[in-house]
Amino acid sequence: MTRSHRLTGAAMTLLTGIVLYGFFALKYPYHLHFQEQYQLFEGTWDYFRTVAAVPGGFADWLGRFFTQFCYYAPAGAAILAVLLCGVQWLTWAVCRRRTLVVYALSFLPVVPLAAFYCDESALMGGAVALALSLGAAALCTRISRNLPRSIVEAVLIPILYLACGPIAVVFVLIALIDALVRERLRAWPAAVVFPVLTVLCPLVANHLVAYPLARLATGVHYYRLHNFLPGMLWISAICAVLAVAFSYLPMKERPAKRQLFPGIGLFLAIAALGAVLVGRSADWNKEEWMRYDFMVRMNMWNRIMMQADRKNPDNPTTVSCLNLALAKTGRMEDHQFDYFQNGPDGLLPEFIRTFTGPVSTGEIYWHLGMVNTAQRFAFEAQEAIPDFQKSARCYQRLVETNIINGDLDVARKYLSTLENTLFYRRWARETRALLDAGKIFESRPELARAKDLRLKEHDFLFSDTEMDSMLGLLYVENPDNGMALQYLLSWCLLKKDLDRFVEVIQLLEAPQMPKSYQEALLLRWVLTHNDFEGIPAYLSPAYIQRISQFINDARADASEETMRRKYGDTYWFYYYYRYRTQPQ
C-alpha cells in the first residue's frame, strides 16, 4: 500500500474506534454496567485455573478481565472499541494482498461483532477468542518455510482450541487457505490433519470436561445463555475468514490511484451495513431498564425522576424503580399517579426465576427493611446467572444482609472473595475492618437503618399474595418505617382495593391527605354515596370539583385519550383505565 493508503486505512480504523467508543460509552453504556454486574472477576490463580480449565477458558478469562472495567462504562467502551478494532487489524494482518480494498474488507467481521455486543448476553470472551485465533494465524503466516509452519499450526490447533474454544476453527481455515495457496497439491497432509484435529478436539474434550458435545463444538462461554448459538459471533468469524480468503484470490492489481475510491466506498458500505445492523440489534427498551436498574443501584433517586419526566417508564421493572425513587424522595403520595402505573406489579414485581428481575426488586425489599427477602432475591438472582458466574453486586448485598442477620462468618466469607476484585476490594476491606472493630452499624447507617426496620417479633413465610399483611406488619412493628406505610397504601390503591385502603389510612394518627389519597377517598365516597353531602372537611373542594368533572366527562362517553389528557395524573384515571383485570 502507498503511504496515503496506509494513512487512509489508519483513519478508517481510528474512525471506527471512535464511533464504536461513542456508541457504547454514550448511547449504550448501561449494557456495559449490566455485563459487569453479572460477573465477579477475582485476580487469583484459583480463579484463573477454574475458568481456564474449559475449552475457550483462557479467552473467557481475558474477556472477564476486560469486562470488570465496565464498572466504569467509558473504560468498558474503550476496551470494547479497541478489541473490535483489534479484530479488524488482525484480520488485515492475516490478509495476503495488501490493498486498500482488502483493508476496507477487513472491517467486515467488526460489523456482526458490534451487533453481537448489543446483546446483553454476549460475553467479551467471544471477541477475545476471535482476536487470539486471528493473531495466531497472523503469526503463523509469517513463517515462510512450509514444513515448520505446518508443524507449528498442527501443534497450535489443540492449544488454541483449549485457549479460545471452537472459534479456533478460524485459525484452522486460514491455515488451510494459506497452505493450499502456497503449496497447492502438496498441502494434502495439512488438508487432512488440520480438519481431523479440529474435529477431534471437542470429541476428546467431551471425555475430559462435563459439557455436552454440542456446547464444546459451538462454544461454552461466548454467550451467557445455554443452548444458544451466538450467531453474530460466528458470522463475524466467517466474515473474517471470507475477508482473508478474498485477499488470497489471484486478482489483477489495480494502480494505487484507482484503489482509493473503491476502498473508501467499500468501507462506507460496510459502515452503513454496520449502522443498520447495530441499529436493528440494539435493544433500547433493555437499555432503558438497565439504566433504571443502575440508577437504583447507585441511589440516584432524582435522576430516576428526571428520566421518568423525559420518558414515562412503562414496564413493571422500570415503573417499580420509579416508584422506589418516589418513595425514597417522599413524593410517592402526591406524584405516583403523575406517572404511568399498571398494577401492583409496578410497585413490587413478582419474583421471577431469572437473574435480572430479582436484582432490582430485591433493592425495594432492602429499602423497605425486608432483609431476608432482599437476601433471597440477591442470592436467587446470582444463582440464576445462566453461565454460573457470580455477581459482585449481589455479593455486596449478601454481605450486608448477613451482617444484619448476625451471620458474620458468612459475611466474611463473601468479603474474602470481594477482596480479590479490583473495584470492590476497597469496600470489602473497609467493611471487614469495621466488622472486626465492631463499628459496622455506626459507620454504615444504611445497615443500621435496615436492622432497625426489619421484622423482629413476627415470623411468617413470605407470600406474594399477602403483600399487604407483610407491609402492614413492617409498619406496625416499626411506625418509623414510613416507606412501608406508603407502599402499603400504594399497594391497596394499585390493587384498587379501596376498602382496605380506608382501613389502612386509619393507621395514620393525624391523617395527612396527599393528592393520591384524597383522590382515592373521594372516589370511594362517590362509589358509596349519592352526593357530596357530609364529605369530610379534609377532602379538598378543588378535588371534589375535579372528580365531578371527571364523572361528567365519563358519563359523556369521552374517549380514553381525552380522559388521559384531562385526568391522566389522577387516581381516578388509573382506577378506570389502567390495570383492567376485573370488570369496572
Partner 1 sequence: MKRLTRLVFAALALALAACTSGMRHAAPAGCRPPIYPDYTGVTIPTGIAPLDFALPGADRLEIRITAPDGTALRNRGKSCTRLPIRKWKALLERSVGDSLRVEVAGRIDGTWKSFDSFGIFVSPDPIDYGLNYRLIAPGYEIYSHMGIYERELGSFRQKGLLENTQFDGCVNCHAYNRGNPDAFSLHIRGDHGATLLQVNGEMAAYNTKTDSTLGFCVYPYWHPTGKYIAYSTNNTRQGFHVQPDKIIEVFDLDSDLQVYDVEHNQIITAPQIKRKGIWESFPAFSPDGRTLYFTAAREVQIPGELPQSQYNLLKVSFDPETGTIGQDVETVVDAVSMGKSLTFPKPSYDGKYLMFTLCDYGTFSIWHHESDLWLLDLETGKTRPMDEVNSPDTDSYHNWSSNSRWFVFSSRRDDGSYTRPYIAHFDANGVAGKPFMLPQRDPVHYYLKLYRSYNVPEFVTGPVPLDRIRAQRLIDAPERVPFGFRWSD
Interface with partner 1 by CB under 8 A: which residues? 46, 206-207, 209-212, 226-227, 353, 370-373, 375-376, 379-380, 382-385, 388, 390, 402, 404-407, 409-410, 413, 416-417, 454-456, 458-463, 470
Q: Which is nearer to partner 1, 154 or 209 (CB)?
A: 209
Q: Which is nearer to partner 1, 353 or 529 (CB)?
A: 353
CA distance 210 to 160: 19
Q: Which is nearer to partner 1, 187 or 220 (CB)?
A: 220
Q: Which of 383, 414, 409 is nearest to 397 (CA)?
A: 414
CA distance 183 to 394: 56
Please give the angle made by the CA atoms of 202, 205 and 209, to the nearest 5 degrees.
135
Q: Which is nearer to partner 1, 396 or 402 (CB)?
A: 402
Q: Which of 460, 471, 510 is nearest to 493 (CA)?
A: 471
Closest separation in Å from C-beta 200 to partner 1: 16
Question: For residue 559, which amino acid is it?
Answer: S
Closest separation in Å from C-beta 330 to partner 1: 26
CA distance 348 to 370: 12
Q: Which is nearer to partner 1, 102 or 370 (CB)?
A: 370
Closest separation in Å from C-beta 424 to partner 1: 16
Closest separation in Å from C-beta 433 to partner 1: 17
Q: Which of 253, 236, 240 is nearest to 98 (CA)?
A: 253
Residue 112 has which C-alpha cell? 456482526
Q: Which is nearer to partner 1, 26 or 225 (CB)?
A: 225
Contacts by residues 432-439 (CB-CB < 8 Å, ≥ 24 positions apart): 435/403, 435/408, 435/411
Q: Which is nearer to partner 1, 68 or 402 (CB)?
A: 402
Indicate the DSSP class of residue 226.
T
Q: Which is nearer to partner 1, 194 or 395 (CB)?
A: 395
Q: Which is nearer to partner 1, 259 or 389 (CB)?
A: 389
Closest separation in Å from C-beta 39 to partner 1: 13
Closest separation in Å from C-beta 399 to partner 1: 13
Closest separation in Å from C-beta 207 to partner 1: 7
From residue 563, give the alpha-carbon distance in Å to each of 259, 275, 342, 523: 63, 41, 16, 16
What is the phi/psi pair of residue 223, to 5°?
A: -140, 140
What is 306-336 written as a DSSP string?
HHHHHS---SHHHHHHHHHHHHHTT-HHHHG
User: Following CA atoms 100, 12, 245, 63 in sequence, which dihedral angle do they give, to the nearest 10 degrees?
Assistant: 160
Grid cell 418513595 — which residue? Answer: 327
User: Following CA atoms 145, 148, 151, 153 in sequence, which dihedral angle do they give, to the nearest 10 degrees?
Assistant: -60
Closest separation in Å from C-beta 389 to partner 1: 9
Closest separation in Å from C-beta 162 to partner 1: 17
Residue 330 has which C-alpha cell? 417522599
Q: Which is nearer to partner 1, 458 or 529 (CB)?
A: 458
CA distance 206 to 224: 20
Closest separation in Å from C-beta 49 to partner 1: 12
Residue 323 has which C-alpha cell? 416508584
